[in-house]
Structure 1
Amino acid sequence: MALVQTVLGNSIRAAAATFSLSLISAGAVAAEKVRWQVPLAFPSNLIGLTTPVKHLTDQLKTISGGDIQLRYYEPGELVPAFEIMDAVSQGKYPAGYTWVGYDQGTIPALPLYSGAPFNMEPPAYIAWYYEGDGKKLLEEIYDERNIHPMLCSIIGPEGAGWFSKPINATKDYDGLRIRFAGIGGKVLEELGASVTMVPGGEIYQALERKTIDATEFSQPAIDKMLGLDQIIKNYIMPGWHQTFTTSHLLVNKDVWKKLKPDTRALIEMGCESATLKGFAQSEWAQPTALRDYQKEGVKAQVLPEEVLRELQKVTDKVLDDIAAKDPMFKRVLGSQRDFMKHHSIWHGMGYLPRDFYEYE
């Protein structure tokens, strides 16, 4: 009897496996053909920032049996990094993978989605985005530009920048010519800095030619890939100006609407998978980069708390000033602030304090 049950059980499992495979195969065959050219805002090798796009393309091709294929192009091959949103909106390309903060000049609320000062850390941001108002509001923002946006990457805080001298007080920012992105740049302007936006691929040359005195770009591992440590040896932390950084897949809405529901679902799930994968890649890479910096004589300075508190005060003023001028910025900022206040009880009581961990 036991033998019969075993054989029967194996047969049932085999039949179930065969049925599941047939469903997967049927789904792959049923999928429509998608062939998209996707311009990138950053080089495709930047850990956690753009490497998720490779995961996205590989997974979509595999799960669709080759029916969904995205071909990504390095910055400038199709369009300049700062023009991706317009190219997708106008239908020149079906999709683009970008840092949406580049478009803050036309859409002030976007820096709140790409990485804002004294904002949420990645776990809380993901909760707000997927379970709160975040996703819905971002789709509303892009709707009038004929774009469907998808979160497709998130990494943790950046470094606060590379400076020739330590920052011991907010007055030390006064007079600096600095490359700084997003709302953080507006904060430093309030403190007297001359802020400029230089694309990532041009930062090394700008520092080398001394057209800027200081810069920020991304996390330790990514900054190392750009060679910023070869020019400046004083690295400022933490990344008060961007407590998270995201990348998004922007899809032309006319193209998106024509896709079958199952194809849209696969692409949405692909971006969710890419977001998780990229975050893991990023968290894995940062400690190695910081320890390499130590070996190479780079001094990683942690900003004094009094400096961070003052930066936070200036940040709140800047945020409130923008909110007073832009209704959508005000809505997004209000939603984020409400959730951060709500989440703080869990953030403060549920997690171990930072100083509980020892590091060398």
Structure 2
Amino acid sequence: MTAVTPTSTSDAPEAAQSVRWKMASAYAGTTPIIGPEMKEMLERIRTSSDGSLDIRFFEPGALVPPLEIFDAVASGGVDAGWATPGFWAGKVPALQLFASIPFGPAAPEYMAWMYVGGGQELLDELYLKHNIKSTLCMILPPEASGWFRQEIRTLDDLRGLKMRFFALGARVMEKLDVSTQLLAGGDIYPALELGTIDATEFSSPAIDRNFGFEQIAKFYYFPGWHQQSTWADVIYNLDGWNELSLGQQTLLTMACGDLVQRGLAQGEALQVPALEYFEGQGVQLKRWNDEFLNAYRTAWEQVAIEESEKDADFARALASLNEFRERFAIWRDLGYLD
């Protein structure tokens, strides 16, 4: 881990620290919203701290492969990581519920559970077991459901497909006889091009535009039932985090709070030009009918039961979220037009 050194000889317990850390990103710096916004946030942190907090952004794979960031941060081999909790499903299955959830809440409701309804405390507990401190740093609007080479007319058309899919949504697709694998963003296009996968989902239109999927797959399906909103977080090695002053910890937390609202605003605003671009490229925008959505929901209900039976933390987190949503429903139904 990069050293944290005092910049003052004061005996005060909160002596300023000079921090030079490395952040391993799962997302390329050019990936719309999640790349540039994080790099800008780190620059604002440097400026606001007069240079005493200097966290350097490293592109995917420059320090460690994206899917190895969790272990690298936990061990202290890397100071910080930028990803989504769902990437660590193989390590901590319950973390998937703090990234996105099939047929889950829209961003405002998800934020309410996280910040007020007990979600943050559960998330902290899960990470602390692995010597990691997490700071929620972005929430994104609904994703697309996926890119397909051919039109999907019936559920039978899904069977046998090889598809890149994320987190709990992948388990749902497997119930429908789709073979899934998780690939980092930069690995998806080559896999499509080589035929290693037949289809993919990745993110929202504004972010997908950066990857060129439309050059290979011309059928783009909505809605993203598997990710109606998605959290990303910065994870820090807990030992390094504890060496920071309270002021430095507060600055990092506040910077991420600011990025949550910036990311959501951009995430909504940038979808329209992206969709217009895809239409101009001959992409057909499709919406799943009720038969598909009902099949996905039924499969998700089965997956939720199975995952809860296998993992106590998953069951506890899902129960917390479901209870919050059940109570929240009266406000959702009365307060909103839709």
Q: TM-score, normalised by structure 2?
A: 0.93
1:191 and 2:176 matched: yes
Q: Within 5 Å, give how 1:120-131 maps onto structure 2.
A: 120-131=105-116
Residue deviations 1:142-173 (CA, integer Å, cap 9, x gap): 11111111111110111100112233443322
Following superposition, the deviation at residue 117 of structure 1 comes to 0.9
Question: Is 317-326 or 99-108 further displaced after alignment?
Answer: 99-108
Task: Give the unaligned 5+ runs of structure 2.
Answer: 1-14
Shift in Å at residue 31 of structure 1?
A: 4.2
- Alignment match, 1:36: 21
Q: Secondary structure at the residue paired with 1:243?
A: coil
Q: Is the 8 A contact 2:149 2:216 kept in 1?
A: no
Letter in 1 for 2:225: W
State yes or no: 1:206 paired with 2:191. yes
| Aligned equivalent of 1:250 | 235
* Corresponding residue SS for 2:115: helix
Following TM superposition, by how much is the alpha carbon of 1:135 offset from its aligned partner in structure 2, in angstroms?
A: 0.7
Alignment partner of 1:234 is 2:234: no
Q: Does 1:343 pair with 2:323?
A: no
Work out which of the residue numbers 250, 253, 256 in structure 2 matches 1:265. Answer: 250
Per-residue deviation, 1:295: 2.2
Asked whether 1:286 is paired with 2:271, we answer: yes
2:51 is matched with which residue? 66
Structure with the largest fraction of helix: 1
- Could you tell me how far 1:112 is from its partner in structure 2? 0.8
Alignment partner, residue 158 of structure 2: 173
Say whether residues 1:332 and 2:329 are aligned partners.
no
CA distance in 2, matches of 1:339, 1:165: 39
2:305 is matched with 320
Partner of 2:296: 311
- State the AA in 2 paired with 1:312: R
2:140 is aligned with 1:162: no
AA in 2 matched with 1:336: L
Are residue 133 (structure 1) and residue 153 (structure 2) matched? no
Which residue identity lines up with residue 116 of structure 2 in the other structure?
A: E
CA distance in 2, matches of 1:234, 1:303: 12
Deviation at 1:248, TM superposition (A): 0.9
Greater Rg over alpha carbons, structure: 1
Query: Per-residue displacement from partner, 1:207-227 (whole Å, max 9, x unpaired)?
Result: 111121111111111111100
CA displacement at 1:314 relative to structure 2 = 0.8
| Aligned-partner SS, 1:110 | helix
Greater mean alpha carbon deviation, residues 176-185 or residues 94-103: 94-103
Structure 1 residue ranges without an equivalent (≥5): 1-29, 354-360
Q: Pick the aligned partner of 1:218 from 199, 203, 218.
A: 203
Q: Distance in 2 between matches of 1:295 and 1:277?
A: 28
One of 37, 47, 58 as aligned partner of 1:52: 37
Render the CA deviation track for 1:223-254: whole Å, top value 9, x for unaligned.
11100011111000010111112211101111
RMSD: 1.5
What is the distance in 1 between the residues matched to 2:272 and 2:327? 31
The counterpart of 1:143, out of the listed 115, 123, 128, is 128
Per the TM alignment, residue 205 of structure 1 is displaced from its structure 2 partner at its CA by 1.2
Deviations 1:25-83 (A, max 9, x none): xxxxx743221110101102222333331232022112212221110100000111011
Q: In the aligned structure 2, how far is the partner of 1:233 from the partner of 1:280?
A: 28
Q: What is the CA–CA distance in structure 2 between the aligned matches of 1:210 and 1:234, rounded to whole Å?
A: 16
Specify which of 96, 101, 118 is matched with residue 116 of structure 1: 101
- Distance in 2, Cα, partners of 1:96 & 1:200: 16
Mapped to 2, the partners of 1:318 and 1:159 lie a distance apart of 21
In the aligned structure 2, how far is the partner of 1:49 from the partner of 1:127? 22
Q: Distance in 1 between matches of 2:261 and 2:32?
A: 13
Counterpart of 1:281 in structure 2: which amino acid? Q
Question: Could you tell me whether the CA contact under 8 Å between 2:28 and 2:59 is conserved in 1?
Answer: yes
| Structure 1 SS opposite 2:17 | coil
Aligned to 1:297: 282
Q: How far apart, in 2, do the equivalents of 1:138 and 1:257 lie? A: 18
Alpha-carbon distance in structure 2 between the residues aligned to 1:200 and 1:296: 21
Decide whether the 8 Å contact of 2:26 with 2:184 is kept in 1. no
Of residues 55-64 and 229-238 in structure 1, the stretch that sits farther from structure 2 once superposed is 55-64
**What is the CA deviation profile of residues 6-36 of structure 1, one whole-angstrom value per residue up to 9, with x for unaligned ones?**
xxxxxxxxxxxxxxxxxxxxxxxx7432211
What secondary structure is seen at the aligned counterpart in 2 of 1:246? strand
User: Percent identical across equivalent pairs?
Assistant: 39
2 CA distance for matches of 1:343 and 1:47?
32
Q: Does structure 1 retain, via aligned residues, the 8 Å contact 2:27–2:60? A: yes
Relative to the length of structure 1, the TM-score reads 0.87
Give the match's secondary structure for 2:265. helix
Distance 1:50 1:116 in 2: 23
Paired with 2:290 and 2:36, the residues of 1 have a C-alpha distance of: 34
